[in-house]
Structure 1
Amino acid sequence: MKLVNKVIIVTGAAAGLGEAMSVGFVKEGATVICGDIDRKELEKSVEKIEGGGEAIPVVADVGNENDVERLIKISEEFGGADVLVNNAGVKQLTLVGEEYSVAEVPLELWDEVINTNLRGCFLCTRAVLPSMLNRKSGRIIHVTSGHGKKGRVKRSPYVSSKFGAEGFHWTLSLELKNTPVDSLVFTPPPGGVRTSEAAFVEDPLKNMNHDPDVIIKPMVKLASGEGRNGGRYRGKGDGEGYEETDYIFEN
């Protein structure tokens, strides 16, 4: 097992990619702090997780500073997080079921998406960094998407949040250079992954070619120490590995 004695925080762990990662990490021996805002779905998810490690459910809103501090505090009870996976995210279609041009975007929608996808990424990272730096070991993996590199019509809240997460990773990687802590980005393979984020979209599986399990092996590899600070990695469609698509220190 590749992750024995590792403590890993996974946000957005109740379904989709987060649930798949948690399953994979526990099977490899990790203690996984599974954070999610949805208590009912989180409990269902954790009940399904089996393996050599352990899954600890924590109900938390990553956009809420107090919730994030509690999430990190629980990880400290197990020795502190070795890996943080910033996975929690919402797509605007999940919340509203409609697309909006920039001139039409409701402020409530904008705030909800940015609060989870970008503010949550920042809050979790800020909270876990002191412990990682103090222990001289740690890895932060930001799960983004292809929309973090290109725009899409009528998706400004979601696209902006993913561009922001990519920029946050770049800045963090520069700050962590010459430290024992790494910042990496991971994106699912091209073709789309079927997740519960699409629950409110008409024909949610349209053009979605992969099940969430496709990201388990590459994420286990990255969590175990493969990859490097400043790297951007994309899963392969065969579910076996990943490829480096960008490296900030070569730009």
Structure 2
Amino acid sequence: MHATNCLNCGTETEPSHQYCSACGQKTDTHRLTLGHIQHDLVHAVTHADKSIFSLVWQLLLRPGTVAREYVEGKRKKYFNPFAFLFIVVGLASVILISSGFTNFGANPRVPPNPVSAFFNKHVNLIIFLNVPLLAMFSSLFFRKGGRNFAENLVLAAYTSGERSVFFSLVIAPLWMLLHTQYYLMLTLYILSWFSYYAWASSRFHNGKKGVGFVKGFLVALCTQLVTVIIVSATYAIYFYFFYKRA
């Protein structure tokens, strides 16, 4: 058998090589068919060592360890944190909107307005806003731990993604069954999230686990407060400067 060229970058590859030494693409790249596409999709979602399903399970049991191993170099082992975040937040946003759990126009004392309409339609933006805020507060509270902002972003992305999974699989179904218990569901949701992030932080950062848990809880709390302030400020700006009273 003769040497061939990589179809991705053109580098010459030997017949015995399964991957291109320059770009890493498989050397047996074939013409696409519907069967190949189906196989690749199933493989991407369910492959045992790097699937979304596997990641969701691992993030349930050891979120801080997963994030720590990823930032320390074991990146081939795990699904990319930011791809994971975008996928699950997209799905959770559809469930949030369809379930009616998040309704920014529910307050009868607030007249219909474009701010509520925007937040109801783009609730995913609020979830995404939480990620850099979590990383920022984590960098501040754990500044002696040696993790930089980008590394804290990994923890924030993984845990925020798992938070969206928890909402989709647990909170939304409970809310639809117990529709009158909104504040109970909201309290359960927020406390579960604070505790989960605190536990993940205590395993992600170096130091005493108890101290790390408290700091992580405060990080989640501060992020929630700042998010509420930003949303409230948006309403205030609209009603003060743009709302035209009849």
Q: Which has the larger radius of gyration?
A: 2
Which TM bucket (shorter chain)? under 0.3
TM-score w.r.t. structure 2 length? 0.27
Richer in strand (by share): 1
